[in-house]
Structure 1
């Protein structure tokens, strides 16, 4: 099983486009018999988030995450072709997933609670991959969890791009925050007061600077919809060891 994340870039989407992505496009993708599917959208619920950072033009406005048996197979090709009808630019990436903080389960197709903030990271040229990964995974992960009000944290290291001319990315990170974090920095960092907020922000900046995630980064506020997960237990497939 392989995980693929597809970025959609274009003009600021309206709610009609977001509704089509949630309904018609999601249905078309599910008809491809994908083992797993989730869609993240920059919609009205999160559009004014304080933590928005953009380096790409046009910006990323949605993510489609899918699980498949073959990242190079017909399902991914068909998904990319379908999504190209919905955005100016579509890029697909094969990723490896780490989940330091598992998100709560949700009803399929319903909006997950809160804010899903998705960060696009690049590896600085002066850091080799092993050092970059160690500083991100080993050093930074506990700092991120300790200094922010996250209740879900998924790290996706990019293995390679699957589409031509895809922007170079080293990682795609999704963090879930309470809804109040959209407009309140204290809520975003889980701070008790201004002094606590300052301390948490300083620790976070120092940690991200160590692996270059304090610059040349995009953060995209989204609403998250999980339609199908490959990890759900099918009671008909359970067996009893004898």
Structure 2
């Protein structure tokens, strides 16, 4: 099983476009018999989030995540072709997924509670890959979970781009936050007061600076919709066995 993340740019993510992505486009992608499908959209619910940082021009306004048996197979090619009808700039990446904090299960197609902040990371040229991964995965992960109000945390290290002219990125991170965190730093960091907020922010900045995630970064607030998952929960396994 392989995971592919596709970024969408160059179109106005208005209500009509977002509704079409959640309905007609998602249905067309499900018809490809993909084992897993999720769609993240920068819609009106999250558009004015305080935690928006933009490096790419035009900015990313949506992500489509696919799980497939072959990243180089017909399913992915067909998905990219379909999404190219919806946005002029479509880039696909093969990734490896780590999930330090599993997101809650949701009803298929229903918006996940809160919002998903999706970050695009770029490895600094002065850090070799092994050092960068250690500082990100081993050193930073517990700090990110301890200092923020995150209730879901997925790390995707980019293996390679699957489309020509895809912007170079090293990782795509998805963190779930309460909806109040779009407008309130205390809610974003889960801080009890101003002193607690200052302490959490200082710890977070120091940790991200160690692996270059304090610069040259995009953070895209999105509404998250999971339409199909390739993973079977333990509860489903138990029910199937009885």
> Structure 2: how far apart are the matches of 1:74 and 1:239?
34
> Structure 2: how far apart are the matches of 1:11 and 1:203?
36
- Matched residue SS, 2:133: helix
C-alpha displacement at 1:144, in angstroms?
0.2
Change (3 A) 1:69 1:207: same
- Matched residue SS, 1:103: coil
Indicate conservation of the 8 Å contact 1:116/1:177, yes or no: yes
Cross-structure match for 1:56: 56
C-alpha displacement at 1:205, in angstroms?
0.3
1:65-76 alignment, distance < 5 Å: 65-76=65-76
**CA deviation string 1:190-213 (max 9, x = no partner):** 000011101100100000000000
- Does residue 46 of structure 2 align to residue 46 of structure 1? yes
Cross-structure match for 1:159: 159
Indicate conservation of the 8 Å contact 1:97/1:156, yes or no: yes
1:75-224 alignment, distance < 5 Å: 75-224=75-224
C-alpha displacement at 1:239, in angstroms?
6.1
C-alpha displacement at 1:20, in angstroms?
0.1
TM value normalised by structure 1: 0.97
- Matched residue SS, 1:198: helix
**CA deviation string 1:3-59 (max 9, x = no partner):** 000000124310100000000000000000000000000000000100000010111
**CA deviation string 1:33-92 (max 9, x = no partner):** 000000000000000100000010111000000100000000000000000011120000
Indicate conservation of the 8 Å contact 1:11/1:59, yes or no: no
TM value normalised by structure 2: 0.97
Change (3 A) 1:191 1:235: closer
> Structure 1: how far apart are the matches of 2:105 and 2:82?
27
> Structure 1: how far apart are the matches of 2:239 and 2:94?
28
**CA deviation string 1:97-135 (max 9, x = no partner):** 000000000000000000100000000000000000000
Cross-structure match for 2:230: 230
| Equivalent residues, number | 240
Indicate conservation of the 8 Å contact 1:3/1:96, yes or no: yes
Indicate conservation of the 8 Å contact 1:10/1:88, yes or no: yes
Question: Any stretches of 5+ residues in structure 1 without a counterpart?
Answer: none
C-alpha displacement at 1:168, in angstroms?
0.4
> Structure 1: how far apart are the matches of 2:127 and 2:232?
38
Deviates more, 1:231-240 or 1:186-195: 231-240
- Does residue 16 of structure 2 align to residue 21 of structure 1? no
- Matched residue SS, 2:57: coil
